[in-house]
Amino acid sequence: MSQVESMLIDDAKDVLRETAELIEAAANASPEESKKIYAKIAENLKSAKHRLVEIESAAVEKAKVAAKKTDEYVHDHPWQAVGVGAAVGLLIGFLVARR
């Protein structure tokens, strides 16, 4: 996981923690304070959603890069790819047969 992704996840956790604290505070708040707390919770959830979209975008980009590199490797070394696939299949077959 990259440093940026780690920071985004930490930020999202902080937002969710703060939102939980606000929900607890809302239980004993006056109606006017409750409206302010509700607005802050809505803002926090919007922020968390935005951060999660950023994390998702980063993960999708990494998956695309990995898929492209895998495709290039398979095209450059087809017999090695077949060998790896056969070995993995054989290993899975042995594991399934043991049960």
Number of domains in the chain: 1
Q: Are 36 and 4 in contact (CB under 8 A)?
A: no
Lowest mean pLDDT among 3-7, 47-51, 69-73: 3-7
Q: What is the pLDDT of residues 52-82, one digit of tens each?
A: 888 888 889 999 999 999 999 999 999 999 9
Lowest mean pLDDT among 1-10, 19-28, 62-71: 1-10
User: What is the domain range of residue 55?
Assistant: 3-98
Q: What is the arithmetic mean of pLDDT over 3-8?
A: 76
Secondary structure of 13-33 in the HEC alphabet?
Answer: HHHHHHHHHHHHHHCCCCHHH
